[in-house]
Amino acid sequence: IIVTKECVFKPGSLKPWLSHCLFSALFISAHRGHLAAVRFLIEKGADVNGHTPTGRCPLHATAAKGHLHCLQELYAAGAHLNLLDCDGHTALDVACLFRQRRSMQQIYNLQWQERAGSVRLKCHLHEIDLFPHQCFDSKLHTWHRGSLSPTQRGLSTLFRLRTMVSDLEVVILILAASHSAANQSSETNSSDVTVRSPNRTPSIP
């Protein structure tokens, strides 16, 4: 049994009391922006997601005062961004209420990082799912060389050959259309010459 000036603590009740003291100190340090104290208390086991009787956690306190370094330290230690107080406010809502634009921006960035980390994208898309210009652009992430199996490489080559053949067909059609248009214009000019020639007066010898 540990005896102090104020009260008597049994061995089983010392741990909750110590945890409460660490949390209280962490809340006050985060509210006042003492980064060194925040780091020390986190290392000693202070609960970053603990809350006061009103439901406020240290993240609410540091967001309300705009201490970005403490906010980042609490988040790195495992503080949740979406914890609600008794009024239903998150740390972002508290920052909005106190008009702390820097805290709002920091929390927005952290939330975006969480959402981006949960997204799983394909390592690459198949050639059939791409547009023709994407297949031949080496600056895009969809450009792969040497990592395809022989079957996939054959399909890729066949797809590119089909694309080249379709492009050649379009060029041939354009050339044929321009050639036919030129022939029609030449035929029109020759018919005008044959019609106008009888109207000319013969030259006097």
Taking the C-alpha atoms of residue 63 and residue 71, their distance in angstroms, rounded to an integer, is 7
Taking the C-alpha atoms of residue 46 and residue 146, their distance in angstroms, rounded to an integer, is 52
Residue-level pLDDT, tens digit, the chain, 205 residues: 333 444 455 555 677 878 889 999 999 999 999 999 999 999 999 999 999 999 999 999 999 999 999 999 999 999 999 999 999 999 999 999 999 999 999 999 999 988 887 766 565 666 666 666 666 655 555 455 444 444 444 445 555 555 666 667 767 877 887 777 777 766 666 655 454 445 444 444 4
Taking the C-alpha atoms of residue 85 and residue 61, their distance in angstroms, rounded to an integer, is 11
Per DSSP, the three-state class of 90 is coil
pTM assigned to the model: 0.54
Predicted local confidence at residue 153, as pLDDT: 46
DSSP H or E stretch at residue 2:
strand 2-3
Does the domain spanning 2-117 belong to CATH 1.10.10.10? no
Predicted local confidence at residue 140, as pLDDT: 53
Nearest to 134 by CA among 110, 117, 114, 159: 159
Domain boundaries, the chain: 2-117, 128-191
The angle formed by the CA atoms of residues 64, 21 and 38, to the nearest 5 degrees, is: 45
Predicted local confidence at residue 197, as pLDDT: 47
Phi then psi dihedrals of residue 195, to 5 deg? -75, -40
Predicted local confidence at residue 141, as pLDDT: 55
